[in-house]
């Protein structure tokens, strides 16, 4: 039996892959949500035409929110890929460092958004 310096190596790599798949799943859900938001303006325009109201043939706010959501989903997948590759390299070289700064920044931003939403 070969001497393995890190018996948890396989488990660590599998956990890294599961985390990457969670990033991909979240990115895909965000992209699909973006398409749904983008199509909402089309459905709203059709509803207005059925009711006999005039609708302007412009792209509304929902189309822009849809595009932003789609771009955000793609960025989520790319960020997950970058994190996966960085973690894989760190695991292979036994120099793993947790993502403390990234988690702190996201936590502070979400806390600020939550605090700001109380004022609205």
Lowest mean pLDDT among 27-41, 56-70, 76-90, 94-108: 56-70
The reply to whether 4 falls in a domain is no
- Domain extent, residue 24, equals 9-117
Report which listed range, 2-6, 26-30, 40-44, 101-105, is most confident.
26-30
Domain annotation covers residue 1 = no
Answer yes or no: is 57 within a domain. yes
List, for residues 44-78, the tens digit of each pLDDT value.
778 878 887 766 665 577 878 888 999 999 999 99
Q: Is residue 78 part of a domain?
A: yes
Domain for residue 2, yes or no? no
3 belongs to a structural domain: no
SS (HEC) of the chain: CCCCCCCCHHHHHHHHHHHHHHHHHHHHHHHHHHHHHHHHHHHHHHHHHHCCCCCCCCCCHHHHHHHHHHHHHHHHHHHHHHHHHHHHHHHHCCCCCCCHHHHHHHHHHHHHHHHHHCCC
pLDDT tens digits, residue range 9-26? 899 999 999 999 999 999
**Number of domains composing the chain:** 1
């Amino acid at each position: 039996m070969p001497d393995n310096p890190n018996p948890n190596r396989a488990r660590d790599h599998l956990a890294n892959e599961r985390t990457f798949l969670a990033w991909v799943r979240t990115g895909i859900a965000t992209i699909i949500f973006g398409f749904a938001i983008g199509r909402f303006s089309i459905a709203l325009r059709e509803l207005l035409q059925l009711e006999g109201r005039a609708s302007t043939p412009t792209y509304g706010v929902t189309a822009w929110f849809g595009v932003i959501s789609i771009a955000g989903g793609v960025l989520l997948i790319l960020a997950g890929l970058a994190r996966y590759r960085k973690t894989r390299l760190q695991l292979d070289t036994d120099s793993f460092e947790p993502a403390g700064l990234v988690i702190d920044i996201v936590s502070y931003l979400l806390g600020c958004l939550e605090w700001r939403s109380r004022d609205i």
